[in-house]
Amino acid sequence: MSEIVLDKVWKEYGDQIVLEKISLTIASRAFVALVGPSGCGKTTFLKMLLGEEAPTQGGITLDGVPLIAEPGPDRGVVFQRYSVFPHLTVLGNVLLGKVFKRSPIAARLFGAERRAAIDEAMTLIAEVGLNGSETKYPAQLSGGMQQRLALAQALIMKPKVLLLDEPFGALDPGIRAEIHVLMKRLWHETELTVVMVTHDMREAFTLGTRVIAFERPRDRPEERERYGAVLSRDIDIWPPRIAGENSIFAPDRDDPVIPLGLRQDDPAPQGDILP
Amino acid sequence: MRWINTKPSRATQIALMLAPFLLLIVAYGVTSAARLADNPADKLLPALQTLIDAINRMAFQPDPRTGEYLLWSDTGASLVRLFSALGISTLIALFFGMVIGMLPYVRALLAPFVATISMVPPLALLPILFIVLGLGETSKITLIVIGVAPAMIRDLALKVLELPREQIIKAETLGGSSWQIALRVVLPQVLPRLITCLRLQLGPAWLFLIAAEAISSDSGLGYRIFLVRRYLSMDIIFPYVLWITLLAVITNFALDRLRIAVFPWSNLEAR
């Protein structure tokens, strides 16, 4: 379980009020897409969930426990850029989380432990479609592959929450569509609550279970400093998408495959034949 | 076609590369010949043959007094000083550069101090070093370290600060402690920069070495140059200067190759 509750959260930088009185409950395993114009505090909001910034007022809890004011392994993150380490290979990047967990002093793994970690990392690398590129460095990968790598790297920690800061914003439309399919699959298959900041409305409505918009109700130049953005729209996607379940209305190819049993036309009948 | 878009072919590139060197040699030959035609005893620009004789005498014949091959014993003495000083500076710079770059408390404590120290002209400290540390190797090595280390520390600390904030945060979300992040994320990324930094400091390091050797020493390349200066022995000074330049160029090149061999990824980024 991983329910995030924000209670009357304000964020100010000096005199500048960025966010005003954000109260929000993000259900476990939701996929929240956060939209809004530039500079309305979407990224600030994400930084607070990440623990990089603390709210000026109000509190954030994850499963009822107040968030510690420091990024930690329970919250994974993928940024638009610089999410992977340029000095490590694909395998090294994915392994790093495991290495940090198991080897506090040497920060390296050896022998059987290393082999086990490599096996796990390889599975994940194959999952995101990067098999064959294990020994490449990020600079040798395309932008889309780098973001796939960043996802694999974050997911090896099995985080409760995955935070995405315009992760696919720099990718061209074809690659973006491919990675959307991957993202949907990962969300269905992993125990994850996802919060994604995006500029792309289409992306928000394609992926999300819930779309949230931030907006400044007062945006005249003289008001801009003293009034922050508020939560202006909160839309639950209909028909509802539920993690790990087929949509009842229009099952699409991104939904998880649920075996329907054998049909009359299927070859090699074994067991009961459905009408 | 605009000038900014015209590029030399490979052959032209090599020809262009060699041109200034050849030009220098020819200019030297012509001027030297002209001066020697006026006055055969001229010592300022010795003829090529005189230079070769001097090189032969210094490098391949034992010195009648000590029985040493002077060029090699001088080179050995100088390089021991230079490389031990650069080694010490590198270790100091790596440690302090990383803690200043990574830890805000240490940065607040040491960054302004290091910035101030790096402004002290090292050669002005030389008399103090000679008085406090004596005339031996210690004072010479210390001079180079004082001259080179602060700049390297500042450069490395800057490099650490330049690492994208996103990377450090990502490492934190992967559960890394400060120590683990230092070891696996920051250190490997500043090491290539450390090598580059070392290359840039080769010039100053040689400067301080020659200066220290010129003032007080009984061997070394700088010592020899300043010794034979008294006899206007240009035939020895010129080859020594060339030799020092050559050593510096080779070190520079070798360090860059080392960086690419050990950190192959550091060259991928540049493309």
Per DSSP, the residues of A208-257 read -SEEEEEE-S--STTTTTT--BEEEEEEE-SSPP-TTS--SS---TTSPP
pLDDT, residue B265, reads 85
Q: Which domains does chain B possess?
A: 72-260 (1.10.3720.10)
Distance (Å) from the alpha carbon of A20 to chain B's nearest alpha carbon: 25
Distance (Å) from the alpha carbon of A85 to chain B's nearest alpha carbon: 7
In a domain, A36, yes or no: yes
pLDDT, residue A263, reads 55
Range of the domain at A201: 4-236
Q: What are phi and psi of A78, to 5 degrees?
A: -130, 120
- Mean pLDDT confidence for B63-71: 85
In a domain, A242, yes or no: no
The region of weakest confidence among A35-44, A240-249, B15-24 is A240-249
Is the ipTM reported for this complex over the cut 0.90? Answer: no
In a domain, A64, yes or no: yes
- Mean pLDDT confidence for B137-166: 92
The pLDDT tens digits for A161-180 are 999 998 888 888 888 888 88
In a domain, A224, yes or no: yes
Percent of chain A topping pLDDT 70: 89
Q: What are phi and psi of A253, to 5 degrees?
A: -70, -15
The pLDDT tens digits for B73-106 are 999 999 999 999 999 999 999 999 999 999 999 9
Picking from A73, A81, A157, the nearest residue to B166 by CB comes out as: A81
Picking from B169, B179, B180, the nearest residue to A50 by CB comes out as: B169
pLDDT, residue B244, reads 93
Distance (Å) from the alpha carbon of A21 to chain B's nearest alpha carbon: 26
pLDDT, residue A257, reads 54
- Mean pLDDT confidence for B184-208: 92
A82 contacts on B by Cβ (under 8 Å): 164, 166-167, 170
Per-residue pLDDT band for A260 (boundaries 50, 70, 90) equals: low
CB neighbour list of residue A205: distance below 8 Å, 6 or more residues apart: A33, A211, A237
What is the token pair recorded at A173?
Answer: 């439309």
What is the token pair recorded at A162?
Answer: 């995955």
Q: Residue B21: exposed, middle, or buried by beta-carbon count in 10 A (0-12, 13-18, 19+)?
A: exposed
- Mean pLDDT confidence for A77-89: 90
| CA-closest candidate to residue B213, choices B203, B221, B205 | B221
B271 contacts on A by Cβ (under 8 Å): 139
Per-residue pLDDT band for A259 (boundaries 50, 70, 90) equals: low
Number of domains in chain A: 1
Q: For testing the chain B interface, which of A100, A101, A136 should be mutated: the one with the most B CBs within 10 Å?
A: A100
Stretch (H or E) spanning B66: none
Per-residue pLDDT band for A85 (boundaries 50, 70, 90) equals: very high
Coil/strand/helix, residue B164: coil
Q: What are phi and psi of A76, to 5 degrees?
A: -85, 160
Stretch (H or E) spanning A162: strand A161-165
Check B166 against A83: CB less than 8 A apart: yes
What one-character DSSP code corresponds to residue A266?
S
Check B173 against A87: CB less than 8 A apart: no
pLDDT, residue A65, reads 87
Place of tokens 């299927």: A266
DSSP string over B91-124: HHHHHHHHHHHH-HHHHHHHHHHHHHHTTS-HHH
pLDDT for residue B30 is more than 90 = yes
CATH assignment at residue A130:
3.40.50.300
- Mean pLDDT confidence for B231-241: 90
Q: Which chain A residue's Cα is nearest to B192?
A: A87
Helix, strand, coil content of chain B in percent (nearest 5)? 80, 0, 20
Per-residue pLDDT band for A270 (boundaries 50, 70, 90) equals: low
Round the average pLDDT of chain A to a whole number and report it.
84
pLDDT, residue A39, reads 79
Cα distance between residue B14 and residue B20, in whole Å: 11
Q: Which chain A residue's Cα is nearest to B268?
A: A139
- Mean pLDDT confidence for A55-83: 87
Q: What are phi and psi of A34, to 5 degrees?
A: -110, 120
pLDDT, residue A57, reads 86
**B169 in contact with A, Cβ within 8 Å:** yes
pLDDT, residue B75, reads 92
pLDDT for residue A274 is more than 60 = no
- Mean pLDDT confidence for A9-33: 87
Helix, strand, coil content of chain A in percent (nearest 5)? 30, 25, 50
In a domain, A268, yes or no: no
- Mean pLDDT confidence for B162-188: 92
Q: Which chain A residue's Cα is nearest to B267?
A: A139
pLDDT for residue A198 is more than 80 = yes
Check A77 against B170: CB less than 8 A apart: yes
The region of weakest confidence among A130-144, A193-207, A217-231 is A217-231
